[in-house]
Chain A
Amino acid sequence: MIAQNIGFWIIAIVMIGAALRVVTTNNVVHAALWLVVVLAGAAAQYILLAAEFVAVTQVLVYIGAVMVLFLFGTMLTRARIGAESDLNNSYKKLGIPVGLIMLVAMGLALTDSFGDEKLPESAKIVSTQEISDQIFGPYLLPFWALSFVLLAAVVGAIVLARKD
């Protein structure tokens, strides 16, 4: 048991607890804040894997942008303080099976592709430069395709928001 393993388990348990609170809490804003804990935990796990660029991206995109916009949206429309009674509804019956199927599918995919494989003792830290060489080299076409998807989303948002 090395320090990284202990760190992994502590963060993982915190993440699972927070994830359960996201779906059980009775307040939208509380749920969003528990989700922040889950996402921050994911960033911490990336740091344990020595993937600092991915970890920082996770913080910048998910905590700094997505969650802030999420909270901004809920506070602008409906954000009562205290418990809300209509948060737990009948969609629960649909949600739990979907969640379980996702868990099984992801678990199978992971064990199928990696199995008992172990990371090398002294894993090499992948530098940011290597990541950018990969993105703008062999993976340039997928990167462009993704940019077009994002562009389409932005155009769509403008079309929806325009009044005329």
Chain B
Amino acid sequence: MIALLAEVPYWGQSLLRVLGGLVAVLLPAGTIVYVFLFKMMSFMQSRLGPMEAGPYGSMQLFAEVGKWLQKEDIVPDRADARIFKMAPIIVLVSTFLLVVVVPFGPEAWFTDFETGVFYALAVSSISVLGILIAGWSSANKYSLLGGLRAAGQLIAYELPMVLAVMGVVIQAGTMNLQKIVVAQNTGSMFGIDAIGHPYVISQFFGFIIFMIAIQAELTQAPFDMPIAESELVSGYMTEYSGFRFLIFFIGEYATAGVFAMIASVLFLGGWGVPFTWFGWTSVDDVANWMNIVGPLIMFTKMMLLVFVIMWIRFSYPRLREDQLQRFAWKGLIPVALVNIMVTAILKVVF
């Protein structure tokens, strides 16, 4: 695959990277919306969900996108028009920036960034900016309240997320996502190396904290205070319609997919299979077909994690604002700090 790519000129490689990025963001987003939002939620609520467009309603998504694209692009009269139009794009761009560091196979990555995890955490915080100015520029009290709630929540839950990742970084000894994958698949636990060393086992608390923080970062129920429809209409998105709402919508589920990919890279071994299965010893030995199978393994793990996120989303009632903040500051952050200390001590001892 790389030998094939070496023939392609630089602009061609860049074009392929852009196309790959589009696929890596939009394909999971579409699949998540159809499988979980349309079908799984319907199943949990004892109904069928969309059935008309295509077999089992599988073309419903295209119908929805077509509907949204046809709508008029409405900007409220008193709104700050330029910023109002810019806000959803900032949110979507942060998702695209996020997928850049995710490795999909031994050589199937967009960029081999040395500070991968750190970069991912940094650009994921840019979307807060988009949400905040979306709420402000709408010139709507509900929107402003939603934007402020979202900002408060995302700031509060970014900390436990960063602290949970630190445990993994300490254990792997690197911030490069590709090397974290390799470290998990070449490692062994107690001398048994049949399943490698996925950090979900040794960093179990880190994994749980990370998943809760993702849930909150994505503003999915029970952490959907910013868009609480019974109080705030739909929070910072209230004034958006047509394709600008579509961008927010795609951004939400694409970010869910990308965060699940990052979680699977950090805790579930990413694209890899334990290297001992095929007698590989390092990342250079890995067979070329892993560049095709790797993305499929990633996709499976991503769907598994998004399933958990959606399962919780459809099952639990909304947390109150004060409960939500207390849970982050008094619950998750202390546990994450203790987790880091224990990990660091064990890392030095062993």
Residues of A at the B interface (CB closer than 8 Å) are: 27, 29-30, 33, 36, 52-53, 56-57, 59-60, 63-65, 67-69, 71-72, 75-76, 79, 81-82, 127-128
Contacts and interface: CB of A to CB of B under 8 A. Distances in A.
Nearest to A64: B125
Contacts of A29: 80, 83, 133, 136
Most B CB within 10 A of own CB, among A30, A72, A79: A72
A71 B130 CA distance: 11
B114 A81 contact: no
B70 to A, nearest CB: 29
Given A53-B115, A56-B115, A75-B132, A81 B122 contact: no
Nearest to A127: B114
B151 A60 contact: no
Given A60-B122, A79-B136, A81-B79, A69 B155 contact: yes
Contacts of B175: 128
Given A59-B126, A128-B175, 19 more contacts: A33-B133, A52-B119, A56-B115, A63-B126, A65-B125, A68-B128, A68-B132, A68-B155, A71-B151, A72-B148, A72-B155, A75-B132, A75-B144, A75-B147, A79-B136, A81-B79, A81-B137, A81-B139, A128-B115
A60 B121 contact: yes
Interface of B: 78-80, 83, 113-115, 118-119, 121-123, 125-126, 128-129, 132-133, 135-137, 139, 144, 147-148, 151-152, 155, 158, 175
A8 B126 CA distance: 23
Nearest to B154: A68
A56 B129 contact: no
Contacts of B152: 72
Contacts of B79: 81
Contacts of A53: 114-115, 118
A71 B128 CA distance: 11
B129 A36 contact: yes
B144 A56 contact: no
B110 to A, nearest CB: 15
A68 B151 contact: yes
Contact of A64 (B80, B83, B128, B133): B128
Contact of A33 (B83, B128, B139): B83
A162 B79 CA distance: 36
A18 to B, nearest CB: 14
Nearest to B86: A33
Contacts of A128: 114-115, 118, 175
A69 B119 CA distance: 20
A153 to B, nearest CB: 17
Given A29-B136, A68-B151, A81-B78, A63 B114 contact: no
A27 B136 CA distance: 12
Contact of B122 (A64, A72, A79): A64
A63 B119 CA distance: 13
Contacts of B122: 56-57, 59-60, 63-64
